[in-house]
Amino acid sequence: MLIDSGSKCNSPLEKSFPKFRGVTVQIPIDQSVKPVVQPYRRIPIPLEEKVAKKLKELKDADIIEEVNEPSPWVSPIVPVLKERSRRSAYLCRYEESQPSNYKGKPSTSNNE
């Protein structure tokens, strides 16, 4: 992933998710990998309220956005209750759609 380093970010004193303005991002995509639509997984009833609250929090922070049209890639939400903090973390089951030869993490360097 390439990010233009000349972009502006919100102040480090802000306690919100960092927002970059005027950022150019290029994500390399292996065109040989076919999109995967994973099946819907039911959220346990006792966690529905926590999941809804977390989704609203992520949407309000501009980290995620609602999609109202079909997408070739679909991953279910898998809520995991963390023991220490008693807060829920929400993960996507991505291993099925991850290429088997994938070894790295996204990078902000220009060397890729």
20 found inside a domain: yes
Q: What percent of the chain has pLDDT over 70?
A: 55
72 found inside a domain: yes
109 found inside a domain: no
DSSP letter assigned to residue 92:
E
pTM for this predicted structure? 0.55
33 found inside a domain: yes
How would DSSP label each residue in 50-82? HHHHHHHHHHHTTSS----S--S-B--EEEEE-
Number of structural domains (the chain) is 1
110 found inside a domain: no
Instruction: Give yes or no for a contact between 22 and 5, defined as CB atoms under 8 angstroms apart.
Output: no
> Which range of residues forms the domain containing residue 85?
2-92
* Model confidence pLDDT, tens digit, residues 48-67: 898 898 889 888 887 888 88
Tell me the one-letter amino acid at 41: R
